[in-house]
Structure 1
Amino acid sequence: MDMDCDFAGFQLDYGKKDFKTFLTVGKMDLWDNVMGGTREDEEITSLRFFYPFDKKNDVNFGVSWSSAMQSRYQDPDQGRVFYYYGHAHHRFDKNWDLRAGLIASNAKRDPSNPVASTKSKHPGRWLQLLYKGEDLQRPGSYGIKLTYRYEPALSWPTVTDWCDLNDKFVRLAFSYVPAKNILLDTFYSWEREIDTGDRDDMYRFQAQFFF
């Protein structure tokens, strides 16, 4: 359950270091009204599990119930959409990491939007290869990421990681720490709309200062 926006509610976690369960209940701003929908807040109930097999392998999996979003071509009369997902992480050594995941939902298409009937309803998926990784306490450290994302609107609960609606992309990203608690990062995405094939490449650069 990714909470990178305004959230009001509570989260409970249970379990020891080698297996944890997280229950999240509340309201979250998933930008439905900004993207063309009507809801300002999304009702969220999520149950997530985390299990590390060892120091090099771990998995996250769970389910989530979230308010249907018109901006994602979902039928607002459905009430809540049921999502289920799994995510695996493998560390080859101190420099290389690999992540992969899959997500799907039971979202119904919005009958009031003729475009909704043309949108694919396939599972979303992602694959990411990471080399090294920045450390804010270590000037000169850096990270390089190569990511593939396939985000069909009907199967993905929000707009994530600077990806447009109903898009797929390959992204190359670079991050660097020039001084302690300063992070520079940039990426370029070769991005396409899943169902129309329209090109929507994206470039971004930002500097972050941590205090």
Structure 2
Amino acid sequence: MKKTLVSALATALVVGAASTTFAAANPFSDVPRDHWAYDAVTQLAADGVVEGYGDGTFRGDRNITRYEMAQMVAKAMAKGDMSASDRALVDRLAAEFADELNNLGVRVSNLERNADMVKWNGKLQYKYESLRPEGQAKDTTNEVKFRLEPKAEINDHWHAIARLDADLNVADDTGKDGKVTLKRAYVQGDYTNFQVRLGKMALLSSEGYQAPGSIVLDDNFSGAQVTFGSDLKATLEAGRYKGAFLDKDNLSERANYYGAKLNYEKNNFVAGAGYYHLKSKDIGSYTSNGKDSLNVWGVDLGYHFDKNSFLSGAYAHANKLDVDNKYKKSYQVTYAYKGADMMDKGSWGAYLSYRYLGGASVAATTDGAQFGTKGIEVGADYTPLKNVVLTGKYFNGKKLESGSNDKVQKLYGTVEFFF
């Protein structure tokens, strides 16, 4: 008997998509959000089991052939982390489509799998920034960034991942460094409730997932990172770091780094805590005891009122920093509403945040608020077309310097084309 959308739903059960709490973004124009199969179909697309057609449609009411069903079964068979009941269902489907799998198995499981071993993602971004300190000339930049992010399969559990950036100054059509920069390059192993990364990777403090970003670390480091757990996740990382701390130009050496983070997310609550240690002889000039190490700890808490509204707060403190106590801290309070999804045309989001970036902000997110400032930051993003996202931010605040009442404003905007 010919099958239609029911076949896709059977495969969804096989790969576990039907039990997913939140479905992926809808890639198909003919599967509306209120369709009874919306969650399963969108998750199947995210898992790579179904691909749809070149015009962005799924055509779920069309009878599919046994050949097409066999392809979905073959992809489901390639899933390694299944329960016993799911594996039994796979075996029954494989028996039903044995002839087609025998005829297509080499091409489906080998040739097509090998063709998918390296996947390329990236973006082309135009960025505008205008920093406007009171009493000083404004500092404006116009920049184009081209980014490539390859991901190569090593085996069933391990992948090699990289990020390459090329930046162009629009004002004079010259590259910032005149070359392509390798920002990240690491291998990643994924197991049940366990992940390990080795190489140069993202360095993000525990509250970094919140809009408008991190108040402690938002950069890269070279080393090792291990994450384990489910609802409560623990991350341990160590390596070498070179980046922004108080004054970039004064950091001539890399700093030794290690950190520990806890993140909890269940139901409507999210919470986190982190400890970060940096050691370098350049740091000694900033610490109260003259030692060449800096310790920063931070906590964060958030609550989802519904699927659209999120209220969060974060606080961090730098120990033994040679400044007044009020300058050792960093914190932010943010209300975020919705959020733009690059795959969902018409989606949008906005946030309002009060940010205080003091001495604990080793390498904070500074698209709006700057290091050594405090004030209000607002932002919004919008997806006018699929894979095209517009972002705008505005910061209005003051410097934290003792005795200073100078105001600081910043405008930030990007247009991003994802591929």
| Normalised TM-score (structure 2) | 0.44
Larger helix percent: 2
- Distance across 2 between alignment mates of 1:84 and 1:122: 11
Q: Percent identity?
A: 20
Alignment of 1:1-211 (within 5 A): 2=204, 4-15=218-229, 17-32=230-245, 35-52=248-265, 54-67=266-279, 74-75=286-287, 77-109=290-322, 120-153=326-359, 155-162=360-367, 163-195=369-401, 196-211=404-419
Over 3 Å counting, the alpha-carbon distance change for 1:118 and 1:99 in structure 2 is: closer
Over 3 Å counting, the alpha-carbon distance change for 1:105 and 1:46 in structure 2 is: same
Aligned-residue CA RMSD (Å):
2.5
Q: Which has the larger radius of gyration?
A: 2
| Cα deviation 1:50-106 (Å, max 9, x = unaligned) | 112x321010102110236969x7239422211111011110011110110110021
Could you say which residue in structure 1 is the equivalent of 2:161?
A: none
Q: Which amino acid aligns with 1:56?
A: N
- Distance across 2 between alignment mates of 1:22 and 1:12: 6
Alpha-carbon contact 2:313-2:332 (below 8 Å) kept? yes
Alpha-carbon contact 1:88-1:99 (below 8 Å) kept? yes
Larger strand percent: 1
Over 3 Å counting, the alpha-carbon distance change for 1:141 and 1:180 in structure 2 is: same
In structure 2, list runs of 5 or more residues that go unmatched.
1-202, 205-216
- Distance across 2 between alignment mates of 1:169 and 1:69: 32
- Distance across 2 between alignment mates of 1:171 and 1:193: 14
Alpha-carbon contact 1:32-1:39 (below 8 Å) kept? no
Q: Which amino acid aligns with 2:233?
A: K
